[in-house]
A and B are shown apart, each in its own frame.
Chain A
Amino acid sequence: EIVLTQSPGTLSLSPGERVTLSCRASQSVNSRYLSWYQQKPGQAPRLLILGASTRATGIPDRFSGSGSGTDFTLTISRLEPEDFAVYYCQQFGNSPYTFGQGTNLEI
């Protein structure tokens, strides 16, 4: 099983700041099969980034993803109030298709 470790667990930031979230895999993941999701309280997750670096349809360009192998990052260039949420990475390279434990972005 591929374990995805996200860091940090919680980040307290302010609107306008830049943030980088980390997702580290216990073994190499094909970047085609690494996705990022955003989840707000009481809502289903929403796909943000596919293939490690491609924004999903409708996702603002302040969101960007990068990485390969075992190290992946999600960057939000300038935080908007609506960006405060929990972010998860997920791999589809090998079953079970595990999620990271999440990073909580709070104001």
Chain B
Amino acid sequence: QVQLVESGGGVVQPGRSLRLSCAASGFALSGSDYGMHWVRQAPGKGLEWLAVISYDGLTQYYADSVKGRFAISRDTSKNTLYLQMNSLRAEDTAVYYCARYVAAVGLDNWGQGMMVTVSS
């Protein structure tokens, strides 16, 4: 079955970098039906969409709040999605989810979430 497992979270100081990973199983990231997204949720707040990478890896889109600081990428040989987060701020503190997108369906499978805390 489809499974997404995030890793790489933790506590980081403001201004530093962190890379989140999302290991996928049960399907291929390179499959033509799938895009991959990152979504986050600050403590006690709602869902915030962050980024997407297309099935072929050629297209990425970002929310304004992270554009220029975060980068989404993937390694199809490892079937793993990444989120490189640079210049981290206190307001980036959140649970980060990776999720699989199926066209005209939505985010049909989600990871368990990974906490990132930005604090000195």
Question: Chain A: residues with CB nearer than 8 A to chain B?
Answer: 1, 32-33, 35, 37, 39, 44-47, 50-51, 56, 86, 88, 90, 92, 95-102
Contact = CB atoms under 8 A, between A and B. Distances in A.
Nearest to A45: B110
Contact of A51 (B37, B47, B104): B104
B36 interface: no
Contact of A37 (B52, B61, B104, B107): B107
Interface of B: 37, 39, 46-49, 52, 61-64, 97, 101, 104-108, 110-113
Nearest to B101: A92
Contacts, number: 64
Given A45-B39, A51-B104, 8 more contacts: A37-B106, A44-B110, A45-B47, A45-B107, A46-B110, A97-B49, A101-B46, A102-B46
Contact of A90 (B64, B107, B108, B113): B107
Contacts of A50: 104-106, 108
Contacts of B37: 97
